[in-house]
Structure 1
Amino acid sequence: MKKSKKIISLAFVVLLLISIVPMSASAAEVVYGNFSFELNGTTNQATLSEYNGNSSSVKVPDTVYGYTVTKIDDLVFYKHDEIQSVSLPNTIKSIGFSAFSSCTKLKKIILPVTVTSMGEYTFNNCTSLTEAYVNSAIETLPNYMFKNCTSLTKVNVNFYTEKIGTRAFDGCTSLKSLPNGVAITEIGDEAFFNSGLESIKINDTVTTIANGAFSNCSKLTKVNVPSSVTSIFDNAFSNCGENLTIIGDYGSYAEKYAKDNNITFEENPLLIGDVNNDGDINVRDSVYILRYIALQSGYEIPEGTLIFKRADVNGDGKVDVTDATLIQKYALHMIDKF
């Protein structure tokens, strides 16, 4: 009988120990305020796995019980339509699929530069969102990131970002201009499908405009396409209406594309004398011509090209020392016109 009691007591102690020690030494679920977190003992990091609050203002903590909060899991804030503002710490590295989808009262979002990974549909159907500052160090804006954000008017993008993903701005009917992004090279499939764009200037880092990128943009009337663009898919501007005009440089791919697709083309107004195309007329332009005359590598001015038109400042059909001298005099305010 005594032996039996000892066995029962030992079993009780074992069960008690199991109940207070996590099943895994590397992970545990904890509650912290209105949040649930998964703690990883191996990395000392925490993942926000659930939100159970109902506040209009949410601040995600940077640490939980000594663990650094580095990830927001899939669907954490999905359909929390009471949320109007969210503050994210500079410890967040990853934001999951549809993490903020259908937060229909969310007005503004600032994503920290520490974020290097984001899932698709991140802010899908956030219909009150007007401003988004994507400071995140991501190469591609996720597919469907701002789909149906019908109030969105301003988007800033980090210099890390090189591509706008598929339908990233699909249905953003209040968006009249492109996101500010200095390193974007590719505009993805249907990136701005059915958006409110009206008159846009594509960044001169862009090289590719993909399939349907601006299709169904019924208000789009003017698109300034830089010479950096060397690939435009045939239906990139489908269903944009008869008033669409592509503005580009003489002899550029944009000109060829417009003519091949029966779209009105306008040549960019030339800044005669701006040989290096930096937006200014100065001594550097004169030096460019002199190096061209000296046959220095990298300083080419082929006849019939846009650079030739800018360099032939006196309009005599040649690019020579006379043009270089005129540019110098203009730059030194010795003459006020060519």
Structure 2
Amino acid sequence: MERTPAAYPQQTQVWRADHDEVKRQTFSEQDVKKLKGKEIRVGDAYTRIAYGAFKNITKVKRIVLSENIAYIGDEAFRGCTMLNTINLPAKLRRIGKGAFYNCCRLKTIIIPPTVKRIEPKTFKQCRGMKAISLHDQIEAIGDSAFLECESLEEIRIPEQCREIGFRSFCYCDSLKSACFPEGLLRIGREAFYRSGLTSLKLNEQLEVLEEGAFLRCLGLREITIPKSVKQIDKWAFHGCDNLRRAVFEGDPEILGSGIFNRLDTTVVCKKGSWVDRYCRENGFTVENQSDVS
């Protein structure tokens, strides 16, 4: 027997109702256009900020978000070049990719404990940002998350973070120190390329330094590679022209080409180790110790 249309579940209608509800609760570009002034308030009726909602709104200086906001879409505030103040609600669960890209006058921001990831390019080119508070429940820092944050002076990587992404802190000229959690396993490709680091204390569980991880960090003078490190890819510390001494506590299994500058850096390692052989075969200055502690 042929079924009548009424016999089928009306899934499309249910989805449509949910879709409309989400749309009503989303603060969009059209909502922004209705408002004028240097301060914009997003009311309690909204739970989401749409993709690119405030993109390139260059006049706004202050944005007040309702405590009901749980989601900020990709590039939501990108190019808000005059924005200097914004509150992130306690219920916020996600900040989208590139959400604050090129908010160059934003000086500080506090990430709520409900946000678990810093997505790629979230704060890229926030050149005025001097400080950011990252809570310990953040699990990942995405590619280029803080690229060209030229005023950022220090960073504390969250305890739950296991990997720092590609170019996360690249071109952070004022970044003098970085604090790494014990559980960090990998520092990504060019993660701190041309940053202003003057001191570096790598954690005792770190395993991998990817290609160019600290390439051209001119402020570094001495580093210690922990026993846990198993792999150092090419150019990890190349171009660190003032790096005079690199001490290996262990003996990494994989060593890429041109890890250090040949003429500038003395490598301290155990005699007869793989590092010792690598350095002598590649023309590095070597200082041996029977057991580097």
| Fold shared per TM-score above 0.5 | yes
TM-score normalised by structure 1 residue count: 0.64
Structure having the larger proportion of residues in helix: 1
CA–CA distance in structure 2, aligned partners of residues 203 and 34 of structure 1: 49
SS of equivalent to 2:279: helix
Residue 104 of structure 2 corresponds to residue 108 of structure 1: no
Distance 1:30 1:182, change over 3 A: farther
CA–CA distance in structure 2, aligned partners of residues 84 and 105 of structure 1: 5
Displacement after TM superposition at 1:264 (Å):
0.9
Aligned residue number for residue 48 of structure 1: 72
Contact 1:70 1:94 (8 Å CA) reproduced = no
SS of equivalent to 1:257: helix
Q: Report the identity percentage.
A: 21
SS of equivalent to 1:33: strand
CA–CA distance in structure 1, aligned partners of residues 268 and 86 of structure 2: 45
Aligned pairs (5 A) from 1:1-338: 23-25=19-21, 28-30=25-27, 33=41, 38=48, 46-49=70-73, 50-51=76-77, 54=82, 56-63=84-91, 69-135=92-158, 137-172=160-195, 174-196=196-218, 197-237=220-260, 240-268=261-289
Alignment: residue pair count = 241
Question: Cα deviation per residue 1:227-269 (whole Å; 9 max; x = unaligned)?
Answer: 24222112222xx251321001122222111111111110137
Contact 2:153 2:176 (8 Å CA) reproduced = yes
Higher relative contact order (CA 8 A, sep 6+): 2
SS of equivalent to 1:248: strand
Contact 1:189 1:213 (8 Å CA) reproduced = yes
Contact 1:84 1:105 (8 Å CA) reproduced = yes
Counterpart residue identity of residue 38, structure 1: R
Bigger Cα Rg: 1
Displacement after TM superposition at 1:24 (Å):
4.3
Distance 1:24 1:203, change over 3 A: farther
SS of equivalent to 1:258: helix
Displacement after TM superposition at 1:82 (Å):
1.1
Displacement after TM superposition at 1:45 (Å):
8.7
CA–CA distance in structure 1, aligned partners of residues 95 and 159 of structure 2: 14
Gaps of 5+ in 1: 1-20, 64-68, 272-278, 280-338
Counterpart residue identity of residue 48, structure 1: I
Counterpart residue identity of residue 189, structure 1: E
Displacement after TM superposition at 1:26 (Å):
5.8
Q: Which moved more, 1:159-168 or 1:102-111?
A: 102-111
CA–CA distance in structure 1, aligned partners of residues 225 and 282 of structure 2: 19
Contact 1:55 1:82 (8 Å CA) reproduced = yes
Displacement after TM superposition at 1:214 (Å):
1.3
CA–CA distance in structure 2, aligned partners of residues 121 and 37 of structure 1: 27
CA–CA distance in structure 1, aligned partners of residues 235 and 118 of structure 2: 27
TM-score normalised by structure 2 residue count: 0.73
CA–CA distance in structure 1, aligned partners of residues 151 and 145 of structure 2: 15
Contact 1:58 1:87 (8 Å CA) reproduced = no
